[in-house]
Structure 1
Amino acid sequence: MIGIEINNNLKIAIEASLKAGEVIMQVYDTAFDIEIKDDKSPLTEADKKANDIINTFLNPTPIPIISEENRQIDFSTRKDWDECWIVDPVDGTKEFIKRNGEFTVNIALVKDGMPQLGVIYVPDSKVLYFADVSKKEAYKVVLESHQTTLEDIKKQCSSLVPKLKTNQVDVVGSRSHMSQETLDFVEDLKSSGKDVQIVSKGSSLKFCLVAEGNADIYPRFAPTMEWDTAAGQAICNAVGVEVISKETNKPLLYNKENLLNPWFIVSK
């Protein structure tokens, strides 16, 4: 795949994710402290260090940043942004604390409310996903090292291909947030005669499962924030998988006044 072209912003996001992944794993391999934020969610040294590193890559660009760990900028300013980075330095902090490996670095570039570029890096397994929505291209590569060069990534990556529909429906469920509404959704599928299998994953890996053909549908009937979903939506959209709001029946939008997402469904 060495012939693929990666634009400069996607290159920056990939490099930032790998460097963040390296520092995350340095913390992962120690006895780290856990703080509880105002919204009751956990925070570790890895979140802070990864955020700082990602900022060093993204701040030199002229594009503003929305990050889970940055102080949130008021919508009166954000509403004038036509594009922005949306970042979660450690998506799946609960999975990080459980040490099950299912946590990711999420970096997306959004323009006019829609994801254009997306990077998801899984530091524990060194799996990298990246996508350019305008080119309808999304790729996956398993790295040998966090220091892998972009040229080597281009040589080793393979295209993502969503799954063809069959009577078996593989439904992605959250590792830590399986809601009653999701269980009801699964029962409705079963009652329609579908052979339903549940695939459990943490963090934004749930989007990747659908994009790479290892699941059919990901219903999310529990709270998420924009930084939880923007990179995953970019990767899905690049291969024709939609991320549809249950509120509007249209694609999820970003840089909204309220950064909380509505419920949504990811499917081809």
Structure 2
Amino acid sequence: MKRKRTTPPLTEADRRSQQMIVKGLREAYSKVPILSEEGEEIPYVKRKNWSMFFLVDPLDGTKEFIRRNGEFTVNIALIEAGYPVMGVIYAPVLDTFYFGKPGLGSFKLEEASRAAVADDQALIRQSTRLPVVGSDDIIHVVTSRSHMSKETEAFIGELRRDYEVDVISAGSSLKFCLVAEGVAGYYPRYAPTMEWDTAAGQAIVEAAGGTMLRYEDHERFYYNRENLKNGWFLVKRL
């Protein structure tokens, strides 16, 4: 199996998570294809006509996992016609589960491993609807703990000309979750990511009322491009 050059260093946890997720998805949704960071590289000519597929990152935040700071996640998104229509993010160390679906809303479930979930409605009843934090006079910006760029620093500098700005650092897709919760108003990402890094987070943010827009044209972010490497983007609470 040919490995992609953009893939970060693998850990045994990546492999085990990949195997468990793919097995579960294939058992439940045998006809829906899966595109995953740790999966086999699928040529664009084969996947370009997919109307629906799962986009999976079995361990997002490899650096956070290696550093043992708890800020790594498992991300699964369902993509339909190029856009995420469902996203789930689980932070195993925090035992916190985020999920979102446009039209349904976004939710956060703490102590997720202890929850008794028989169906979707039971899951929603035990969860907190997002956002949960109200607006204040301070602009809260969440940035990558591992990948700060000069462009991101410039974005923060521009905001500071007119507002009081608080900068929050977080790892993995938890940055999207902080925007969905209302803890942060902005998540600027002016550094490389891959499609599996962002799809689940985008679904959760959008279902909570936020946006994720491409830097170059301020249009909604979309997926299953020929080059799976993402361009710059801005996630905004409202």
TM superposition score normalised by structure 1: 0.82
For residues 229 and 211 of structure 1, do their structure 2 counterparts lie closer, same or farther at Cα, with a shift above 3 Å needed? same
Find the counterpart in structure 2 of residue 121 from structure 1: 90
Distance 1:177 1:150 in 2: 39
Find the counterpart in structure 2 of residue 64 from structure 1: 33
Distance 1:53 1:104 in 2: 15
Find the counterpart in structure 1 of residue 9 from structure 2: 42
| Residues 207-222 of structure 1 mapped to structure 2, 5 A cutoff | 207-222=176-191
1:145 Cα deviation from its structure 2 partner: 2.4
The AA in structure 1 aligned to 2:11 is T
Post-superposition Cα deviations, 1:114-158, rounded to whole Å, max 9, x if no partner, equal: 10000000000110001111x241110112527853456344211
**What SS does the aligned partner of 1:59 have?**
helix
Find the counterpart in structure 2 of residue 170 from structure 1: 140
1:162 Cα deviation from its structure 2 partner: 6.4
**What SS does the aligned partner of 1:234 have?**
helix
Find the counterpart in structure 1 of residue 171 from structure 2: 202
Distance 2:45 2:207 in 1: 31
Structure 1: any 5+ residue segments left out of the alignment? 1-35
Matched, 1:149 2:125: no
For residues 216 and 147 of structure 1, do their structure 2 counterparts lie closer, same or farther at Cα, with a shift above 3 Å needed? closer
The AA in structure 1 aligned to 2:151 is E
Find the counterpart in structure 2 of residue 185 from structure 1: 155
Contact 1:223 1:262 in 2 (8 A): yes
Structure 2: any 5+ residue segments left out of the alignment? none
Deviates more, 1:203-212 or 1:38-47: 38-47
Post-superposition Cα deviations, 1:229-251, rounded to whole Å, max 9, x if no partner, equal: 00000001101100000023111
Runs of 4 or more consecutive aligned structure 1 residues displaced over 3 Å after TM superposition = 36-40, 146-155, 162-167
Aligned residue pairs, count: 231
Distance 2:185 2:135 in 1: 8
Distance 2:183 2:189 in 1: 17
For 2:228, which of 241, 259, 264 is the aligned residue? 259
